[in-house]
Structure 1
């Protein structure tokens, strides 16, 4: 990881994934002017998929959620650089990769100071030929071995002492090689205690139940048991 520092901003980046980096790289306009936007996805904001030299990236601007977002939609209280959300997520993804967890590689992150607040952006690797569980389960079932593999990957994340505070089936991807990926580590953290692990699993199960009722995904309780079997076997 390399770092660029000024009084107004800090940029973390991986020079093996992006050769040059500056503030402009974190704007949609830069990639549009270079004809490098290859797609987008809607969430709390727009994620722009961009073409880099060696790989494809996903550019995300950090937006607030909830009622407070109506007043201050993309500004956060500045305490210090290490506590900014983009730099924290970059660091956490690096830690997870070093622990062997399948997560997107962090390419570059910026935090820009605005007097007492800051704004943040992150570029991560776009996982090639992957779909989230909701998209897949709307169309077809998946077999027990894949559910077990999901459980194993979650346990690997927990073994790395990472609490995924928003573990849901939108944040679990499967690529064309049936490899499992976990994404979206905003507001997540390394924690030495284990109390969060069951909470993560409970949140994930609620997500299966919610999407089953909402859009009729092809899922049932036995699938959940297969996932738990993979999780528990990874403990042994």
Structure 2
């Protein structure tokens, strides 16, 4: 996957250059890869990107919202504008905790490449390129307001997938071991998932396990963070009354390391 960026007024978009044209002002950030630079001005479709795509009201007005995911960000499921047989997930970035009472959507602006949306999309694209099970990224949108910004992310929806949290009641050992093996694959690639829980692991109708929501995650050298990820998942399983699922997940995790 090749990524490219463009700017329209104070909107900054990072997108899949193999899929879309931008029609905006090209950006040349320091250190940009040769492939990304070469991708500009070339696309597989005549569909131009629209900054409006990152605003939920745009899709509601067009009756293109097909559903909504749980969570504070109120992620929407959308019909893709260029492929009617495909759905997208639009996830606005939202704050949690006490600060959300006074500021639930604005973040400090320190440059577009340091925004949460750009960092998450680049990380997702890198993992996707390695063949790891993450949703295919579509685009990240950031709009600047002086010293702050708001952002949203669009990815391809895994149609029919359910959160592991919703599968725990009837999950067999084979599925739970696949969950553990999948987590180990990400750990072996250096991914520190700071919010590894039973809702950020998705199971497709075919039994594949995917990892989602890479906000604030990063690639690291092996360390104690790996055990920390697993401890967070253990707390999540306990919250859903499924602590008994942990041994099979850990069996799959360690079998992966042995293999």
- Pick from 131, 141, 149 the counterpart of residue 170 of structure 2: 141
Distance between the aligned counterparts of 2:222 and 2:147, measured in 1? Answer: 32
Q: What is residue 16 of structure 2 aligned with on the other side? A: 14
Whether 1:43 aligns to 2:71 is: yes
CA distance in 2, matches of 1:166, 1:17: 30
How many angstroms does 1:59 deviate by? Answer: 0.5
**Structure 2: gaps of 5 or more residues:** 21-46
The match for 2:230 among 194, 197, 201 is: 201
Q: 2: CA distance between counterparts of 1:165 and 1:7?
A: 33
User: What SS is found at the alignment partner of 2:216?
Assistant: coil
The structure showing larger relative contact order (alpha-carbon pairs under 8 Å, at least 6 residues apart) is 1
Structure 1 residues 47-97: Cα deviation after superposition (integer angstroms, max 9, x where no partner)? 111001332101111111111111111110111211100111101111111
Question: In the TM superposition, what is the alpha-carbon distance from 1:35 to its structure 2 partner?
Answer: 2.5
| Unaligned residue ranges in structure 1 (runs of 5+) | 213-218
Q: Say how many residue pairs are matched.
A: 227
- Structure 1 stretch displaced more, 198-207 or 141-150: 141-150
What is the rounded CA distance, in whole Å, between the counterparts of 2:205 and 2:8 in structure 1?
A: 42
| Rounded Cα–Cα distance in structure 1 between residues aligned with 2:197 and 2:243 | 16
- What residue is the counterpart of 2:26 in the other structure? none
Give the one of 107, 125, 142 matched to 1:111: 142
Matches of 1:29 and 1:68 in 2, distance apart?
A: 25
Please name the residue that 1:215 is paired with.
none
For residues 151-190 of structure 1, give each alpha carbon's deviation from its aligned partner in whole angstroms, at most 9, with x where no partner exists: 1110111112111000000111111100101111111111
Structure 2-normalised TM-score? 0.83
1:6 to partner: Cα distance: 4.7
What is the Cα deviation at residue 125 of structure 1? 1.2
Q: Does 1:96 align with 2:146?
A: no
Aligned residue number for residue 178 of structure 1: 207
**Are the counterparts in 1 of residues 177 and 253 from structure 2 also a CA contact under 8 Å?**
yes
Q: CA deviation at 1:13?
A: 1.0
> TM-score, with normalisation over the residues of structure 1?
0.91
CA distance in 2, matches of 1:135, 1:12: 32
Partner SS state of residue 46, structure 1: coil
Distance 2:227 2:134 in 1: 21
| SS of equivalent to 1:234 | helix
Aligned twin of 2:256: 234
CA-based RMSD = 1.5
